[in-house]
Amino acid sequence: MSAIIHELLAGGAPDPGRVERFLAARGYPHVEGRSATFVFHGPADQVLLRHWIYGLPSSQPFHRLEGTDLWFLEVDLPERSRIEYKIERVVGVSREWLMDPLNPRVSRDPFGANSVCHGQGYETPSWVHHDPEARSGEVVELRVRSRALGGVRRVQVYLPARFRRRRRYPLLVVHDGRDYLEYAGLRVVLDNLIHRLEIPPMIVAASEPRERLWEYAAEARHAEFLSHELLPKLEARFPLVPRASHRGLVGASFGAVAALHTAWRSPGLWGRLLLQSGSFAFSDIGEHRRGAAFDPVVEFVNGFRDRPGRPSEKVFVSCGVYESLIYENRSLVPLLQSTGMDVRYVEARDGHNWDNWRDRMREGLSWLFPGPLWMVYE
């Protein structure tokens, strides 16, 4: 039984007043060392923890403290972990998934929101919060007519503070750009890292798909759009450094597949890649088991493993150890290294989510595009 539950029971059978004082005395989940105690207070026939940690049962039952409506569950949580979860309450035949009412920490994504538990030692990076001393960049909209994809695509373009036409800037093209801006705080991150001189002032094009699972699944027409329609449009509109070493692609999940595939189809054009939790599914023997949407991805990754070429110069790869994709990402790293590309690989005790990808941005961007600070001190 959890140490804090023992503490509650130390004074005898808990009455409602003691339970209320117990709940008000600390934050939940209560983390101490490698132990995290989740607590729920309310009527229920059953309470379960629903989490996104690959390799563990996704539904774990709470225990009810006899004579009360207080439910608790103690789990082992390694240091510096960050996990997202919900609480499932069962009453009769009714089941509902709830945000943890005792936990103010929330993470949002395109599908809604989850409660968040921080393991001991995890801290939200300071550079993800608005810094009043950092000047804000501007976001403008660019419309690009695409023959490859059909129709007009809208791209949000970040221009750094103190943008000047007489200067030339590195370029970063970001897949799922709207989500990076909204859920990973990309605009604030760029403002802060540029202000801190950890990355140079750069122009960032936030691209957005219409049919994501088709366009990003190693689709040749998407690669054609980025390399031969969007890039020339950006070069004509903005003062960019005309070298591959100052030109990069970013993507997470299917977006990482699209980034690698685009660079692979145009070697020497995109000199920097930031690949986060890539959906790099492949098959050594038999068929893969990730569904029909992954069929073109598996075909590409299998072909890439046979003939990787040298699609870029520097590649930063990150993945969460609590993701089902950790095996594929670990397997990709030595293959990338074998091509002669400069590769850095980072794992985090986190899952497949936007906060994980946000937390890796500083390390990834400052390594791919070192700013004046790193150029002086490294």
Contacts of 365 (CB under 8 A, 6+ apart): 172, 193, 198, 199, 274
pTM (2 d.p.)? 0.93
**Per-residue CA distances from 256 to 176, 261, 346 (Å):** 10, 8, 15
Tell me, what's the pLDDT at 251? 98
Listed residue (215, 200, 117) closest to 163, CA to CA: 200
Nearest alpha-carbon partner for 140 in 210, 205, 229: 205
Ramachandran class of 176: left when φ > 0, alpha when ψ lies in -120 to 50, beta otherwise: left
Residue 18 — pLDDT band, cuts 50, 70, 90? Answer: confident
Q: Identify the pLDDT of residue 117.
A: 97
Reported confidence tier of residue 10, pLDDT bands at 50, 70, 90: low
89-112: pLDDT as tens digits: 999 999 999 999 999 999 999 999
Q: What gap in Å lies between CA 278 and CA 335, rounded to an integer? A: 14
Hey, what amino acid is at 106? V
What average pLDDT does this structure show over 283-301?
A: 84
Between 199-213, 256-270, 284-298, 331-345, the lowest mean confidence (pLDDT) is in: 284-298
Return the biggest CA–CA distance within the chain: 75
Would the pLDDT of 216 be above 70? Answer: yes
Asked whether the bond before 242 is cis by omega within 30 degrees of 0, the reply is: no
CB 118, CB 31: distance < 8 Å: yes
* Protein fold of 127-377: Rossmann fold (3.40.50)
Q: Evaluate whether 75 touches 83 at the Cβ level (below 8 Å).
A: no
pLDDT at residue 244 is higher than 50: yes
At residue 8, the pLDDT reads 66
Q: Which helix (H) or strand (E) holds 191?
A: helix 186-195
The dihedral built from the CA positions of residue 271, 109, 212 and 300, taken in this order, carries a sign that is positive
Which part of the chain is CATH 2.60.40.10?
3-118
Burial pattern 100-127, b for ≥16 Cβ within 10 A else e, equals bebbebebebeeeebbbbbbeebeeeeb
Which CATH entry fits the domain spanning 3-118: 1.10.3720.10, 2.20.25.90, 3.40.50.300, 2.60.40.10? 2.60.40.10
In whole angstroms, give the CA distance from residue 158 to residue 184.
15
- Mean pLDDT score, 320-336: 96
